[in-house]
Amino acid sequence: MKKVVTFGEIMLRLAPPGFLRFSQTNTFDVIYGGGESNVAVSLANYGIPVDFVTRLPDNDIGRCALMEMRKRGVGTDHIIFGGERLGIYFLETGAVSRGSKVVYDRAHSAVSTIESGMIDWERVFDGAQWFHWTGITPAISQGAADVCLEAIKAANQLGITVSTDLNYRKKLWKYGKTPGEIMPDLVAGCDVILGNEEDAEKHFGIHPDEVDVTQGDSMDAAAYISVCKQLMDRFSRAKKIIITLRGSISASHNTWSGVLFNGTDFFSAPTYQITHIVDRVGGGDSFMGGLIYGLLNYPDDDQTALNYAVAASCLKHTIYGDANQVTIDEVEKLMGGDASGRVSR
Q: Does 213 have pLDDT greater than 50? A: no
Dihedral angle over CA of 305, 308, 312, 315, nearest 10: 150
User: Do residues 11 and 136 touch, judged by C-beta distance below 8 A?
Assistant: no
Percent of the chain at pLDDT exceeding 90: 88
In a domain, 345, yes or no: no
Q: Does 315 have pLDDT greater than 50? A: yes
Q: Provide the domain limits for residue 154.
A: 3-335
Percent of the chain at pLDDT exceeding 70: 95
In a domain, 340, yes or no: no
In a domain, 235, yes or no: yes
In a domain, 341, yes or no: no
What total of structural domains would you count in the chain?
A: 1
C-alpha distances out from residue 292 to 124, 140, 242, 340, Å: 19, 24, 12, 26
The Cα 87–Cα 67 span in angstroms is: 16
In a domain, 9, yes or no: yes
pLDDT per residue as tens digits for the range 121-161: 999 999 999 999 999 999 999 999 999 999 999 999 999 99
CATH value at residue 20: 3.40.1190.20
> For 134-173, what is the HEC assignment?
ECHHHHHCHHHHHHHHHHHHHHHHCCCEEEEECCCCCCCC
Rounded mean pLDDT of 252-272?
95
Q: Does 214 have pLDDT greater than 90? A: no
Rounded mean pLDDT of 66-85?
97
For residue 224, the model assigns a pLDDT of: 85
pLDDT per residue as tens digits for the range 162-195: 999 999 998 899 999 999 999 999 999 999 999 9
H-only helix segments in the chain:
35-45, 60-71, 121-124, 136-140, 142-157, 179-187, 197-204, 225-234, 283-297, 302-316, 328-335
Rounded mean pLDDT of 243-247?
93
In a domain, 139, yes or no: yes
For residue 259, the model assigns a pLDDT of: 95
pLDDT per residue as tens digits for the range 22-64: 999 999 999 999 999 999 999 999 999 999 999 999 999 999 9
Query: pTM for the complete prediction?
Result: 0.94
For residue 215, the model assigns a pLDDT of: 44
The Cα 330–Cα 338 span in angstroms is: 9
Q: Does 251 have pLDDT greater than 70? A: yes
The Cα 35–Cα 199 span in angstroms is: 15
For residue 211, the model assigns a pLDDT of: 56
In a domain, 309, yes or no: yes
Q: Does 108 have pLDDT greater than 90? A: yes
For residue 198, the model assigns a pLDDT of: 85
- 248 three-state secondary structure: strand
Please count the other Cβ atoms lying within 10 Å of the Cβ belonging to residue 2.
14
Closest by CA position to 11, among listed 112, 137, 94, 106? 106
Residue type, position 275, single letter: T
For residue 207, the model assigns a pLDDT of: 78
For residue 265, the model assigns a pLDDT of: 96
The Cα 130–Cα 160 span in angstroms is: 5
Q: Does 236 have pLDDT greater than 70? A: yes
In a domain, 252, yes or no: yes
Name the β-bridge partners of 161. 130
- Cα angle 239, 240, 242 (rounded to 5 degrees) comes to 160
User: Do residues 78 and 123 touch, judged by C-beta distance below 8 A?
Assistant: yes
Q: Does 217 have pLDDT greater than 70? A: no
The Cα 280–Cα 319 span in angstroms is: 8
User: Do residues 294 and 269 touch, judged by C-beta distance below 8 A?
Assistant: no
Residue type, position 114, single letter: I
Please count the other Cβ atoms lying within 10 Å of the Cβ belonging to residue 224.
26
